[in-house]
Amino acid sequence: MENPYVKQYPELLSGKTLMYVHGFGSSGQSGTVTRLRTVFPNAKVVAPDLPVDPFEAMTLLKQLCKDEQPALILGTSMGGMYTEQLAGFDRICMNPAMNIADTMQAHGMTGTQMFQNPRLDGVNQFYVDKALVKAYRTVSEQRFAHVDDEERVRVYGLFGDRDEVVDTFDMFQQHYPNAIHFHGEHRMDDRSFMHSVVPVIRWIDDRQEKRERPIVYIGVECLWDDYKKPTSSSQKTVRQLVENYQVYFVAPSASSCPADYAEVVAWLREYFDVMAWGHTIFTNQRHLLYGDYLIEKTMTRDSMATRLEFGSDTFKTWEAVLDYFSLLGGQ
């Protein structure tokens, strides 16, 4: 059966190396690695089986960074903690276990443990004693040691709002501004990966390539109905627009908005997730927005962007809007 979430993006990370750092008790043969190779078919995915010893793991990762020069490093859970320490590279830390020793003790990750995925050496179990927990604590205490202005731009943290294993959002945000909640649990599935991680990868790849996508502004009044639920097909349309356009959500400034600033931000986060992070504009001067397209319900003044009047005979539904942009082919 065709997966309704997973799509391929041959242009993203094309010809580049993507390194994945797995979590505790996992391996480089995990489902996440398979997903990465499927979604980014033209990228080289490097995914080592990490040694159980954290000092050996960090040594291996630093050597791989030197040898492979990855364009992007992704790390999950324990791997997110390691990834944050690999300074000098663009990185995404997914549900990072920044206090891995505490996490291990709190969730029964001591004693005899089974690897969750096959490993190339054929080993299927390992033992965690007090000395190993201490080693993990020592390595994790090196977190945030290399934070500077450049690193703050290059590192993203993604945190599931239903993660019952790790919660280091507040700690991470103290050091990096790119700390983002997404709808999901500790283990990412296809849906949370495609809706949360892929948009961030697109932002990073666009920055690396100095790629400028056409800009689409969307008035929030077009996205919600009278009951503050998403209008039909609005979420689907926005997700497809994001694949080819730089999409921004536009709301009236807080002083005149019927729903205050916090309510708008919370609503967009609830229904449009990571896509709205850093892409929401509050203004009462939409006509001054510099971009390519502006989707709104009521035009009060001439706009600098091509205006699409949502609800009009031409753009009565989001399906009609999507058809219009499909004909443009990303232009």
List pLDDT tens digits, range 134-184: 999 999 999 999 999 999 999 999 999 999 999 999 999 999 999 999 999
Helices and strands: H and E segment counts in the chain = 12, 13
What are 19's two structure tokens?
């390194």
Distance (Å) of CA 7 to CA 39, 193, 196: 6, 11, 14
Q: Per residue in 238-291, pLDDT tens? A: 999 999 999 999 998 866 555 578 889 999 999 999 999 999 999 988 888 999
**pTM for this prediction:** 0.94
The angle that helices 54-68 and 130-140 make with each other, rounded to 10 degrees, is: 40
